[in-house]
Amino acid sequence: MSTYPPRSSEMIAVVSRAGEIRERHRGEITVHAGLSRYLRTAARVELPAPVCFAWDTAPDPATLPKEPDTGRPQILRVRITPAGRPSGGCHVEVRPFTPEERSGLTGRELQVLTLVACGLTNPDIATRLTVSRRTAATHVERLLHKLGVTSRAAATAIALDRDLFTLPVRGELTGLPSLGPLRLEAAVRDNPGGPSALGAPRRRVTRPRPLVIGAVYPSAGDWFGDGLQMEQGTRLAVDEINERGGVAGRRIEHIPLRVNIQDGRAMQHAIERLVGEDVDAITTGYTLQRSRDSLSAQFLPAATAGSPLLHHSTSASAADLIADESDTFSNVFQVCGRESVYGIGFVRTLTTLRDSGAWRPASNRLQVFDTDDTDMTTFTPSAIEAAERAGWRPAVEHISSFSPDWTTVIQRIRDLDPAAVMVAHFTAAQLAAFVRQFRREPSDALLYALYSPSVPQFLDQADGRAEGLLWATVSGVYGDNFGHEFERRFLQRFGSASGLSSAGIRYDMIHLLAAAWSQCDSPHDTEEVNRVLRRIVHRGVNGSYHFGSPDQTNLVYPDQTTDPSIAQAHLVYQVQDGHHHIIAPAPYSTAPFRPTA
C-alpha cells in the first residue's frame, strides 16, 4: 500500500515538459492514473503560478489506499508549481488530505463545495450531479454546517483558502470564474491526450452514472448468519440485473455496511454514512431498537435526503410512524407486514386445522409466550378476541427478547397443558435451544414458532428435535416456480442453500427498486422514484409487493386482504422429515398438515 509524506513542503515528483513523471518513490504519483494526466497537462501548458486543489481517488482502482478511519477512497492535497525555464515542466507535492483538514467533508460534499465556489445555484448543482434539487440542497446545508459558516460566500472563501477546490469539475466550464484549478481543468479538456471531465461533451459514448444501493446488515451475534443471507440475496439480485445490462444501461452498485442491530444509534449512523455517500436508495433489515422515537431517528437522515429507504423490520411502530408523519417519511417503505398479524395468523391456522379435522386438539387451551418488547407485540387484543370467538381460551405471558428462561417456560407449559403453544422469539439459536429442551419430555402440545426457523442453521441447531414444529413468517419464499428458481440460482451462486425469508426478501427489494427506476424519466430523481414505488405492484420470490396504503407497508394475505396479488402470504410451515413444507394458506401450500402424535 502506498504511503505519502506528512508535510506538504516535501516535493515527491518532477514532471518534464515531455510528460515524463520522475517520482521520489516509485508509484506514488503514477498509481493515480487520472491525476497523472492532469500533471502532464500542467507541465506542457507552463502554468504561470502554482495551482492547488483536492483530488478524490474514488474513480481510480479499488486497490488504492483508503482512509483508515472511514474506509472511503483517499482524498489527496495536490500542489503543482511551475519549474521555470530553461527546463520547464513542474514540481508536484501530494499528500493525504486528512478529514480534519477538510472539516470532515466527503468526496461528494467537496464536489458540491466546488460548484458552490463556482457560483452555481442548487438547481444548477442538482443538474450537474444528476440528483434531485432536494438532495443538492441537503448537501449544501450539510457542508455549510461542517465548515461552520452560514453563507455560500464564506464557504467559497474557505474552499479557496484551504485548497478544497476539487478536480475534476462536473459539467461545462462556460461561464465559470477564471480560477487556477479551473484553468487547469480547461487545459486538460482541450488537450487531446487528457481526460474529459464528467458531464462534459465527449465524442465517444459514455456509460451513464450507476445506481448505488447502500445496505445495512447485522454485524455479529445470533443475527450474523441471517445478515449473511440478506447480503447474499442482495448480491445475487445486483449481479443478475447487471448481467442483463443494468437499469436502462445503468449498472447497480452495492455498498454494504454491517452494524450492531441492537444499537439504534449505530443504525442511525450507518444510514447517515450511506446518505453521505449519496446513494440512490437504502435497504435495511430489522432493528431491535424499534420504538417510535428510535425509528424516527434512524429514518430521519434518509428522509432528509429523500432517497428511498426500504426495510423489513416487521414493525407496527414503523408503519404507524409513516402513516402519521407522511410528509416527513414519504420515502420510507416497509416491505413486509406488521408483526401484530402473527397472533391473528396463529389463531386462524389452528382454527382451520381443528375445523377441518386435520388436527384434534386435546383441549381448547392456548398458551402464548410473547416478547417482553412492547414495540414487538405479536399477540394483540385483537388476536385474543379472535381466539375467544373461535372457542379457544388463550393465556398470554411474556419472555425476554434476548435471554429467555426456557426452563421456566417449559414448566409453565407442563402446568397448563395447552393444546398448542406459540413462542414469539426471533433468534434461531435461542429458539432451537427451547425446542431441544422441550422435546426431552414428551408432550401433546402443538409447538408454533415465528420466523426464526427460516434461518438455514436452525434445523442443525435443533439437533433433529424440530420434527412436527409449525412456524410462520409474513415474508417467506414461496414453494412455486419463482421460489424454486431463486433457490437454484442462489445455490449455484454461493454453494449453499438459501434460507426461507431474508435472502428472498432482500433479493426482491433490489428488483423492486430496479422496477421503479426503470419507470422513471430520471432514476436519480428521488421524488419520482418514491411516487413510482407507491404505485407499482411487483411479484417477487417472497410474494407480491404494493405500498399504496397510507403506512406504505406491505399487506398480508389473508389476514389483511383477500387479494394475494397485492400482498405477501402469511406462510405457515411444518417441519416434516427434516424439511420445511408450507401447509397454509391456500393456494400456496406444498404439503398437508401432519399430526405429531
Per-residue confidence in pLDDT tens, the chain, 597 aa: 333 333 344 557 888 877 788 877 666 676 776 788 888 888 887 677 788 999 887 655 444 566 666 667 788 899 988 876 666 788 888 888 888 889 889 888 999 999 998 888 888 888 888 888 888 888 999 999 999 988 888 888 888 888 899 998 888 888 787 778 888 888 888 764 443 333 333 334 455 789 999 999 998 778 888 999 999 999 999 999 999 999 989 999 999 999 999 999 999 999 998 988 889 999 999 999 999 999 999 999 999 889 999 999 999 999 999 999 999 999 999 999 999 999 999 999 999 999 999 999 999 999 999 999 999 999 999 999 999 999 999 999 999 988 999 999 999 999 999 999 999 999 999 999 999 999 998 788 999 999 999 999 999 999 999 999 999 999 999 999 999 999 999 999 999 999 999 999 999 999 999 999 999 988 988 999 999 999 999 999 999 999 999 999 999 999 999 999 999 999 999 999 999 999 999 999 999 999 986
- φ/ψ of 214, rounded to 5, equals -95, 135
2 part of a folded domain: no
Question: What pLDDT was estimated at residue 597?
Answer: 63
Examine the domain organization and report whether 83 and 215 are in the same domain: no
The pLDDT value given to residue 57: 74
| pLDDT given for residue 191 in this prediction | 66
Q: Does 153 lie in the same domain as 108?
A: yes
Amino acid at 396: V
- Order of strands across the sheet with 332-334? 252-259, 211-218, 281-284, 309-311, 332-334
- Domain-ending residue, one of 160, 190, 220: 190
Tell whether 29 and 168 lie within a shared domain: yes
322 has which bridge partners? none
One domain, residues 165 and 97: yes
**3-class SS of residue 250:** strand
pTM: 0.69
Q: Check which CATH number belongs to the domain holding 349 and give it.
A: 3.40.50.2300
- Closest by Cα among 305, 219, 307 to 266: 219
The answer on 136 and 17 residing in a single domain is yes
Q: Which of 53, 45, 110 is nearest to 80 (CA)?
A: 53
Domains: count for the chain: 3
Q: In this structure, are 40 and 159 located in the same domain?
A: yes
CATH code at 109?
A: 1.10.10.10
Task: Provide the grid cell at 576.
Answer: 416434516
Strands 420-423 and 365-371: parallel
